[in-house]
Chains A and B, each alone.
Chain A
Amino acid sequence: MKRVYVNEEWCLGCHLCEYNCAFANSGEVNMVKALKGKKISPRISVCDKDNIHFAVSCRHCEDAICVKSCIAGALHYENSVVVIDKTKCVGCLTCVLVCPYGAVTESDSGVATKCELCTTNFRGTPACVEGCPNKAIVFEER
């Protein structure tokens, strides 16, 4: 299965992936309208440590502990992609408690949110990958 992988040697720490992610999941067609003056809640986040930068998003684990732990039966697999049924999620954040990568966050509406590889926002391929200026984030089979 194709996943998002990061190469920290190539990451510039520009945080563009965060903006592209927030835009892709905003439901808006205009990036300015989607993001300007708004607090963004991207599903990928860039960590910075001295001169090292790297992006973290859901690993889509094969036997994901978040799926096994979800108390609402909201986290599940769709074609090997871990996705959240937002109508079932009650925002208990057990997924945040168990995700070893810190890749699940609380959305503004209180339910959990995470990378779904842009499969649920009609984009097709991950926006973070497409917009990465230095190809530090790739979408491939490994």
Chain B
Amino acid sequence: MERYLIIGNGVAAAGCIEGIRSTDKTGHITVVSRENYPVYCRPLISYYLEGKTELDRMMYRGKDFYREMSCDVIYGKSVVKLDEKEHRAHLSDGSVIEYTKACLATGSVPFLPPMQGIEKVKEKFSFMTIDDMLSVEKAVGPESKVLIIGAGLIGLKCAEGIAGRAGKITVCDLAGRILSSILDDESAEIVKKHIENQGIEFLLGDTAERFDAEKAYMKSGKTVDFDVLITAVGVRADTVLLRDTAAKTVRGVLVDSHMKTDAQDIYAAGDCTESYDVSSGQNKVMALLPSAYMEGKCAGVNMAGKEQTLDGEIPMNSIGFFGLHIMTAGTYCTENDGGSVITVRYENGLRKFFLKDGYLSGYIFVGEVERAGIFTSLIRKREPLSEVDFELLKKNSDYSGFSSENRRKIFGGVV
């Protein structure tokens, strides 16, 4: 009988469990969970602070999930060493688990560059986990002055989450624009203005160089007084366990289309991996919840001995701030990369389409996001634009831009 070990208990782990059980109903599954919670929806921690969800509603699966899946979960412990040859995992409490197949689903860990004096700051938090969320909830009150380092997805969702709780929020980022990983200058400016209108202040192209207990000295010479510091500079794939194995790691663990690493009987899924981005033809750490689930499930199915491949992954995001929705997907090929950009501007936002070699390579939508999935699908499936009426599609963003034959297949058949 197989003995499956899943290291990590996030959405990739849930996918892995469901993948294994879709094929193998009896093999033994052990999940090692660093955190003391059943699998939960990590991106919802900002929605909790905003008052849009509660702890029990944040759980990813029903309360009987592990029992229904016949899984053992070890909470509050971590794997500290993997012995690839012996197929043994050593846990933080000294115990040892023997496995036949393992899946690394450790996700990512916050990355913090060295900053002088940061040890003097008492109230400082990352914003990655339920425990972070509960700490921030406790620390932030109506009088709080909060400094958030990092105007990326995590930093800005945190800002939105605490906007109704904190007295003052300042967000700084070394980059010259907000959400620099998913937006271009023009779209970032629209979103920035919208967030500023909510009373949040930005210091862009600037970062904290050193700290006193409640004061940040910025690179620009400015100072920021704060009583709560949130660090959201970036994350790094948590791959340390594979260091002494045959698995190859660049920014994340390299896996094949079956989510198998180069280490014997070790698979990997979720934010700790690199995946092939079909929109750019390059490997990337996707760090996206949908990818985590799909990779986990694919890993699980293969671990259980059935073959399944994963393809068609692309970077994509749907994120909103104070009612303004943003959707982005793919790669932004501009004229500099031999592509072309079509921009449609609206009163409350824009749609930018990035085209290259007869394909849609990416898009940025701000405000106008209806039916964006039709475009996401064109990118993911690498549909040649010659197959659609792109002018019409751009205008209506519906299936009138597709051929009648295509529509008959989709809306008259089983998909």
The chain A residues found within 8 Å of chain B, CB to CB, are 3, 5-8, 45, 47-49, 52, 54-56, 59, 61-62, 65, 68-69, 71-73, 87-88, 90-102, 104-106, 142
Contacts and interface: CB of A to CB of B under 8 A. Distances in A.
A102 B415 contact: no
A101 B397 CA distance: 10
Contact of B297 (A8, A45, A68, A73): A68
Interface in B298-322: 316-320
Contact of A91 (B57, B61, B320, B411): B320
Interface of B: 15, 41, 43-44, 47, 52-53, 57-61, 289-290, 293-294, 297, 316-320, 325, 327, 329, 369-374, 376-377, 392, 396-400, 404, 407-408, 410-415
A50 to B, nearest CB: 9
B377 A7 contact: no
Given A49-B400, A92-B318, A94-B318, A56 B411 contact: yes
Given A59-B410, A97-B372, A105-B370, 11 more contacts: A5-B411, A49-B392, A62-B414, A71-B289, A72-B44, A91-B320, A93-B325, A96-B327, A97-B327, A98-B373, A100-B377
Contact of B400 (A52, A59, A95): A52
Given A88-B53, A91-B320, A142-B413, A68 B376 contact: no
B319 A69 contact: no
A5 B411 CA distance: 6
B318 A54 contact: no
Which of A68, A73, A87, A105 gathers the greatest number of chain B CB atoms within 10 Å? Answer: A73
The 9 closest A-B pairs by CB, nearest first: A102-B371, A69-B290, A100-B377, A49-B400, A97-B318, A99-B373, A73-B60, A94-B318, A90-B47
A8 B414 contact: no
B329 to A, nearest CB: 7
